Chains A and B, each alone.
Chain A
Amino acid sequence: MSVRPTVSKAMVRRKIRTALKLRRAKGLTEELLLETVSELCGGGVGLQQLRDELEYNHAEAFIRSAHDKEADETHWIITPKGNDEDI
């Protein structure tokens, strides 16, 4: 059974960008984003919701991804467009 998200989509989308702006050059992994976004939202953000809203931000070109093959890790990084979005 899927758990209904308790935090709004708009808030998670915005907090993803907020968290990534704190590490503009290198970005954050999904693991760290899950924790930081949840913290900024006051808890209640699940992995699936995070992934959905990462996808939204990616589709809007607010964020981009960079994959490190050796470490097998993907970093999400804020784009200039995403950086200007919430000012």
Chain B
Amino acid sequence: MAPDKEIRADAKLKNLPEADLEVLWSFRNPDPGGKKITFSKIRVEIPLRYGITVSQSTLSEFYAWLRLKKRLERAESVAQQARDELAKDPEISTAALDRFADKVFTTEALDTNNVKGYVAIAKLRLARDKQAFDREKLSALVKSKIEAGLDALFVEIKGNARAEALFLQLKTEVQAA
């Protein structure tokens, strides 16, 4: 970081202690029966509590970040619980447990109301599956073409001992590739 770089107001907010972040979270997400506090009122409250002046857009950006932070923490917690539960089975490797936990994390972290996000992800997965399928198909096609070429070549050189020896060498190299 450059020494003369000014610290952004949103970075100051994000770096507040966890207890303060909880207070700010509760302003917008009160307990049942509590009243949600408006951004305008929070903008007045923040300089009084933390000595930071924030614009409306900075505050809005901060709350988007805080909401995401909460969601990822919750997802991490669920993933860890699921991992711990599965870890009771001694036959499951650490790597498999990590992969499983990561899947749980991803599923939990996805915003269930974000239909567009789901569609984009589904398309990504489908595209990736199709790419893998196309690669396999192409690989099988190339292999069969090469084998057909080798068979045709062998018919041509059959009976020529030197050529047959070279052919076998070539075939071994091709199969190893």
Contacts and interface: CB of A to CB of B under 8 A. Distances in A.
Interface of A: 18-19, 22-23, 26, 29-32, 34-36, 38-40, 42, 47, 68, 70-73, 84-87
A70 B99 contact: yes
B59 to A, nearest CB: 14
Interface in B15-67: 15, 61, 64-65
Contacts, number: 61
A18 B65 contact: yes
A39 B68 contact: yes
Contacts of B1: 84-85, 87
A84 B5 CA distance: 11
Nearest to A35: B117
Nearest 5 CB-CB pairings of A with B: A35-B117, A31-B121, A84-B1, A22-B72, A71-B99
Contact of A35 (B65, B99, B114): B114
A34 B117 contact: yes
A87 B68 contact: no
Chain B interface category by residue count: 20 to 34
B165 interface: no
B177 to A, nearest CB: 21
B80 to A, nearest CB: 11
Interface string B72-112: 10001000000000000000000100010011011001110
Counting chain B CB atoms within 10 Å of each CB, the highest count among A29, A34, A35 belongs to A35
A61 B124 CA distance: 25
A72 B102 CA distance: 13
Given A36-B68, A85-B1, A26 B102 contact: yes
Nearest to A21: B14
Given A30-B124, A84-B1, A22 B69 contact: yes
Nearest to B125: A31
Contacts of A35: 110-111, 114, 117, 120-121
B152 interface: no
6 contacts: A22-B69, A31-B124, A31-B125, A39-B64, A40-B65, A73-B102
Interface string B121-138: 100110010000000000
Contacts of A18: 65
B155 interface: no
